[in-house]
Structure 1
């Protein structure tokens, strides 16, 4: 008869020794612990990190342990889901023998693959963005090719704007009213305007006063010969 408790206790001691810096006991009954797994990328900022939690079931290792991801760093959820799928696959393949070391090793190898995949994705995204920028620049420089569809769309929009422009102009002209009438139009609309000046002169004629002093002593004024209406330059030459 298999002594599951003994096998679990022995594996825990081995795991604590192997993963001394990343092994943490979470509970003793049932036995639960976490192991932090990191990729082996050359650049530290490119490393992906997972904290895995394992919990023994009563009949482990004949039954698979419980497992979950406690935390993740620099890894997308879709990649984390791949890791969980890998754990399930490896656990089923290793039933009957202690397997935590095998599971953790498989996850670490997968994280190294994920790092390479992330680099590839970044390069692909960079190339894609550069290509999109180039296409956008071509469109900006050459303009959008005219097709029947986009011409009809533009024409419909243009017609609507033209109708609106004409409506606004007509409304403005109606609001401005007589302020924009020509002189002829003003006389045509107000017949009193053609006699208004005459009436003004008639009314003012009786009240206009003339200052006669302005016209006195004209003989005392010294006028140049050029101002004399009878002046003739030939008379000077004859003298």
Structure 2
């Protein structure tokens, strides 16, 4: 037997009386004790096995300690922290039997482990919930309007409207006969009164040419929308008001 065998035997008897179902002597120099958190209100389960390896110089030096999870899980970081804590507690008891002190400290420390886990879990849930609320609030706020974003929006809406008009125009043209499409193209390219005046033609000549074009074909404004006819009328009225050459305005209405 080792030189401190008597001390170890006495300590084992004391531990066995306190922890009759938890302590187990694996050898003359090794004890194993089942340790649970002391008065924990946590729903999580955590039970560990503490192995105490006595040294020849015990109790004048600390025993070697090992931890193993029996129920639940324990991380390497938690194990390291718990063992360092027991060593600190044992340093204050050097020269005396200290396993009961180490076991009591560990039981209380396991409560702290569970509490710390619960705190971290709540913080993670709170953070996740705060991020969710912020995302929902951002959806309601929308994108802040600045001069740049407003101009970009206007440009995008104008582009969408232009595309819709072009698509509708293409559909109307495809519905026309070949001759009607040719007549419609003439309307699109025929110069305005101002353009004729600026090129040296009189308004009267322009009107006659315009009338001749209409009289010579079967083209009818009825094929086109009121919006298109109003657009031509408004353009020519503006020309007259600004001093341009007068023009004859045709309307089937």
TM-score between both structures, scaled by the size of structure 2 = 0.51
Q: Confirm or deny: 8 A CA contact 2:55 2:63 kept in the other structure.
A: yes
Gap runs ≥5 in structure 2: 150-253
Alpha-carbon distance in structure 1 between the residues aligned to 2:145 and 2:110: 50
CA pair 94-140 structure 1, distance change in 2 beyond 3 A: same
Name segments (4+ residues, structure 1) moved above 3 Å.
74-77, 139-147
Alpha-carbon distance in structure 1 between the residues aligned to 2:75 and 2:144: 40
The range that moved more, 110-119 or 50-59, is 110-119
After superposition, where does 1:105-120 map in structure 2 within 5 Å?
A: 105-120=104-119
Per the alignment, residue 56 of structure 1 pairs with 54
Alpha-carbon distance in structure 1 between the residues aligned to 2:144 and 2:24: 64
Per the alignment, residue 21 of structure 1 pairs with 21
Gap runs ≥5 in structure 1: 152-239
Report SS of the residue matched to 1:125: helix
TM-score between both structures, scaled by the size of structure 1 = 0.54
| Cα offset, 1:143, TM superposition | 4.5
| Cα offset, 1:119, TM superposition | 2.5
RMSD across aligned positions (CA) = 3.2
Alpha-carbon distance in structure 2 between the residues aligned to 1:26 and 1:36: 13
Per the alignment, residue 100 of structure 1 pairs with 99
Q: Confirm or deny: 8 A CA contact 2:3 2:56 kept in the other structure.
A: no
Per the alignment, residue 204 of structure 1 pairs with none
Per the alignment, residue 46 of structure 1 pairs with 44
Per the alignment, residue 137 of structure 1 pairs with 136
Alpha-carbon distance in structure 2 between the residues aligned to 1:134 and 1:117: 26
Report SS of the residue matched to 1:46: coil
Q: Confirm or deny: 8 A CA contact 1:4 1:60 kept in the other structure.
A: yes
Alpha-carbon distance in structure 2 between the residues aligned to 1:69 and 1:145: 56
Alpha-carbon distance in structure 2 between the residues aligned to 1:12 and 1:18: 10
Alpha-carbon distance in structure 2 between the residues aligned to 1:34 and 1:3: 21
Matched, 1:66 2:64: yes
| Cα offset, 1:50, TM superposition | 1.7
Per the alignment, residue 218 of structure 1 pairs with none
Per the alignment, residue 196 of structure 1 pairs with none
1:146-197 Cα distance to aligned partner (Å, 9 max, x none): 89xxx9xxxxxxxxxxxxxxxxxxxxxxxxxxxxxxxxxxxxxxxxxxxxxx
| Cα offset, 1:115, TM superposition | 2.5
| Cα offset, 1:145, TM superposition | 5.5
Per the alignment, residue 30 of structure 2 pairs with 32
Report SS of the residue matched to 1:53: strand
CA pair 7-141 structure 1, distance change in 2 beyond 3 A: same
Alpha-carbon distance in structure 1 between the residues aligned to 2:132 and 2:89: 44
| Cα offset, 1:131, TM superposition | 0.2
Number of aligned residue pairs: 150
1:30-56 Cα distance to aligned partner (Å, 9 max, x none): x1121111112235x324322111011
Determine which structure has more spread, i.e. the larger CA radius of gyration: 1
Matched, 1:7 2:29: no
